[in-house]
Amino acid sequence: MSTIILGNGKSRENIDLSNYEYIYGCNLAYKEDINFEWIVATDVLIQHQIYRNYTGQCLFLDWEPIPSEMAVAFEAFDTQNESNDYTEYGCVISGEGNKTLMTYLRKEDQVISVKEERLPFLMAAGSLAMWHAAETGANEIYLAGFGDVDHLHDQKLMDENGRRLMRWEQERREIIRLYPDIDWKYL
């Protein structure tokens, strides 16, 4: 099965996606007019944004719903939070720094949550997509838009020392090492 994983680097802008059976997108790729099999995110703030604006299948790291009634109680104490409209189907609460996000869930939920302890190491979205594709039986995986300094969605891809890109490349190398029988190809 031919799978492509789309990072958010500009180098993937004009790739013909018609030759792939499965298409994974990372983070803000959900905004694009592409028929994704999966949107993958590990950043908690991005996960909430995706869930609120995208209805397709998602693969998130540690996306753990709680009963809506519990979330309402929390909401009463934390006036700095941001939430969507209440539903009875559960809620995910997470945050970063002083920002707390509460996302009430839809009745028809298409999120698969991967627990961090299930992974061989902590991964960014692109690496999680690679791991998932490998674990679900892909034998040929193409990687596009990885390693770019320029981002399709005007986000910063690295700190001033290039650390995020270096860490992500190390993660990708380790995933490839863990699955040597897969034909990995960078585009």
- Tens of pLDDT, residues 42-100: 999 999 999 999 999 999 999 999 999 998 887 766 556 788 999 999 999 998 888 88
Mean local confidence (pLDDT), 25-44: 95
CA-based max dimension of the chain: 52
Which amino acid, one-letter code, is at 113?
Answer: S
Separation CA 168–CA 186 (nearest Å):
14
Q: Does the pLDDT value for residue 158 go beyond 60?
A: no
Q: What's residue 152's pLDDT?
A: 56
Separation CA 59–CA 91 (nearest Å):
17
> What would the DSSP string read from start to end of the chain?
-EEEEE-SBGGGTT---TT-SEEEEEGGGGGSS---SEEEE--HHHHHHHHHH--S-EEEES---B-HHHHHHHHHH-TT-EE----SS-EEEEEETTEEEEEEPPSS--EEEEPGGGSSS---HHHHHHHHHHHTT-SEEEEES-S-SSBTTS---S-TT-HHHHHHHHHHHHHHHH-TTSEEEE-
Q: To 10 degrees, what angle do helices 163-178 and 125-135 make?
A: 10
Q: What is the mean pLDDT of the chain?
A: 88
pLDDT in tens, 90-128: 999 998 888 889 999 999 989 999 999 999 999 999 999
Separation CA 171–CA 164 (nearest Å):
11
